[in-house]
Structure 1
Amino acid sequence: MNLDMIAQAAGLFAVTNIDDILLLSLFFAQGAGHRGSARRITLGQYAGFAAILAVAVAAAFGATFLPETAIPYLGLLPLALGLKSAWQAWKHRGDRDENGAQETTGDSGPRTLEVAAVTFANGGDNIGVYVPVFATAGLGGMSVYAVVFLVLVAVWCLAGRFFATRPVIAEALSRWGHVLLPLVLITLGLLILIEGGAFGW
């Protein structure tokens, strides 16, 4: 493997996915105390990113599974999930303890498909960056990029979980995560829609 290409792939992943660490931290905080939530979040992140990778590779080979005009409308996914999360937070507003933290039991928490949908929607603009890089890298180069990206997804999940479990951050996310997650998802959805020109602006 070419070390320069590995470094380029790592840099490209970091630049295009830095915002995912915040989302992952919020998901891990939301899943704290829920059995199996870390596994579901990690699976969802992998599923969403694998879908981004698949679309980018297909587009690099000339296929058009996802028309460019459809990308802005991916913002509807985090917007809908943010509204759902806000509704759930409102519905369970009386279930919080005296410190404002959600009382958690069972195997609830973020669902795999929800995490995958947010990851894919948030990575819609990544596809536009990856396609020309993949197209010029060739099959061997694409394989290097794919392997590095998939390894770094695990690193991103570990980083998100790390931040979500730091005492000060964990306390803040436990107290305010039920407000932050829907707010971040709704904002993300609106930004994707507006910046992509979904409303013709």
Structure 2
Amino acid sequence: MFNQLIIDITAFISTNLDDLFVLTFLFSIAKTSKDRITIATAQYCGLVVLTLVGTIIGKLINGVSPHLIGLIGVIPIIMAIHLLLKRFRKSSDMGEDVPQQSVISFIFVISITISNGADNISVYVPLFSQFNILRYSFMLIIFAIMTFIWVLIGYNLARLPIIRNTLAKTNQIAIPIILFLIGCYIISKNGLPFF
């Protein structure tokens, strides 16, 4: 049981360490408690989607092409371009002073969570394919607890004045840049099916 706990915690941390930075960033730009609840909820839903996809692939085909995972990296790049175009349209319509609106939405956060975690599937597939229902249930509980811990850490890091103030000043440009970098990272790590 202890070995299973160590394996599950290690699998979670190794596949979700980058997600901690994304969570910190998202919490730092959250303007309301509704935004913070949306971030936490979408984070859990994203984890559920990734876990289910990893399980289904593990049980059905016992593997997934890294190039297909790389294709998911296009999603945050498209989101980044969309946000930049939206920002530049608003700035040209209203002058240089663009009011800071919250970009936090369930779809926005779950898209980032799934895109950022897509490469986790390559770890989850071999891991989940060998689990029975009891072992799988244990792992799900550990992942849920670890996600809660990740959300708390991200929230508390975002409350640090140096992080909050820096990101609050730069979030209009930082959000698209971070999304673009996440997409490039996923593509560079996994490749694309047509290259």
Q: Could you state the TM-score of these two structures normalised by the residue count of structure 2?
A: 0.86
Residues 68, 168 of structure 1: CA spacing in aligned structure 2 closer, same or farther, 3 A cutoff? closer
- Report % sequence identity: 23
Corresponding letter in the other structure for 1:157: V
Corresponding letter in the other structure for 2:163: I
Alignment match, 1:139: 133
Residues 137, 35 of structure 1: CA spacing in aligned structure 2 closer, same or farther, 3 A cutoff? closer
Distance 1:61 1:116 in 2: 24
Alignment match, 1:15: 14
Corresponding letter in the other structure for 1:160: G
Alignment match, 2:39: 41
Distance 2:193 2:8 in 1: 33
Distance 1:199 1:3 in 2: 40
Q: Which one of 139, 142, 159 corresponds to residue 165 of structure 1?
A: 159
Residues 43, 5 of structure 1: CA spacing in aligned structure 2 closer, same or farther, 3 A cutoff? same
1:35 is displaced (CA, Å) by 4.8
Q: Could you state the TM-score of these two structures normalised by the residue count of structure 1?
A: 0.84
Q: Aligned Cα RMSD in Å?
A: 2.3
The answer to whether the 8 Å contact 1:78/1:121 transfers is yes
Residues 166, 88 of structure 1: CA spacing in aligned structure 2 closer, same or farther, 3 A cutoff? farther
SS at match of 1:70: helix
Q: Which one of 108, 113, 116 corresponds to residue 114 of structure 1?
A: 108
- Map 1:67-82; keep pairs closer than 5 Å: 69-82=67-80
Distance 1:162 1:88 in 2: 30
Alignment match, 1:129: 123
Distance 2:193 2:174 in 1: 26
Q: Which one of 41, 58, 61 corresponds to residue 60 of structure 1?
A: 58
Corresponding letter in the other structure for 2:7: Q
Q: Which one of 177, 189, 193 corresponds to residue 187 of structure 2?
A: 193
Distance 1:167 1:179 in 2: 19
The answer to whether the 8 Å contact 1:193/1:199 transfers is no
Unmatched 5+ stretches in structure 2: none
SS at match of 1:145: helix
Q: Which one of 171, 182, 187 corresponds to residue 177 of structure 1?
A: 171
Alignment match, 2:85: 87
Q: Give the total of aligned pairs.
A: 190
1:176 is displaced (CA, Å) by 1.6
Distance 1:199 1:8 in 2: 31
- Map 1:147-158; keep pairs closer than 5 Å: 147-158=141-152
Distance 2:30 2:160 in 1: 15
